[in-house]
Chain A
Amino acid sequence: NAGVTQTPKFQVLKTGQSMTLQCAQDMNHEYMSWYRQDPGMGLRLIHYSVGAGITDQGEVPNGYNVSRSTTEDFPLRLLSAAPSQTSVYFCATRSQGLNTEAFFGQGTRLTVV
């Protein structure tokens, strides 16, 4: 039982490159989300999904795309990386219901040069 798995753990990109951050969960949770963590700013919500086929924007969605074709996977795509996207990215899952605990992956540290 792996919980929430993020890959890769570290990545360096050049400005303008694209990449996909992977998030997979084996907890059968319907709710999945992506956050970025920057010093002094806490975790900011990028995109979230309440179930397969349903996604919505969070606080800072620009420059990122998501899709949710299965319950297990919720990839985050950077179409054209910018230095401002240098951050630590966390994927989180929750079961249905707003009072439920969020479970986090270990994070992906992304540097855009």
Chain B
Amino acid sequence: AQSVTQPDIHITVSEGASLELRCNYSYGATPYLFWYVQSPGQGLQLLLKYFSGDTLVQGIKGFEAEFKRSQSSFNLRKPSVHWSDAAEYFCAVALNDMRFGAGTRLTVKP
């Protein structure tokens, strides 16, 4: 079955530490891939997207993601987390329509 999996429901990191949020997909073909962020009480904002070319994509707010076809993964990374990065992060895929993972809530410790 087609699916998008974010294995980590909640992650806590210290401010200044590095971050990696995992995303795996299960589709027959390589879908278009996205990462969105949602701050409390807000809608979703696009961080970055991948659909072809260089497998390392840069996004806003210092985020990047790497597409690995062999692992069906599209993990989000940031070298140094800021307190303002605390939010919920969603991986999404688009094939016929856009589907989202369950989300990873990020808490940043001072």
- In the complex, the answer to whether B32 meets A106 with C-beta atoms within 8 Å is no
Interface residues of A in 25-65 (CB under 8 A from B): 33, 35, 40-45, 48, 56, 58-59
List the B residue with the shortest CB-CB distance to A44.
B100
In Å, the complex CA distance between A42 and B89 comes to 10
Q: Is the Cβ of B103 less than 8 Å from the Cβ of A42? A: yes
Residue B56 at the A interface, CB < 8 A?
Answer: no
**Given that A48-B97, A98-B94, A99-B94 are known contacts, is A42 also in contact with B46, CB under 8 Å in the complex?**
no
Count, chain B residues at interface, CB 8 A: 24
Q: A94-B98, A98-B95, A102-B98 known; A43 and B90 CB under 8 Å?
A: yes
Is the Cβ of A33 less than 8 Å from the Cβ of B98? Answer: yes
Please pick, from A101, A105, A106, the residue contacting B46 in the complex, using a CB distance under 8 A: A101
Query: Which residues from chain A sit less than 8 Å from chain B, CB to CB?
Result: 4, 33, 35, 40-45, 48, 56, 58-59, 90, 92, 94, 98-99, 101-102, 104-107
Q: Which residues does B use to contact A, with CB under 8 Å?
A: 6, 9, 31-32, 34, 36, 42-44, 46, 49, 51, 90, 92, 94-103
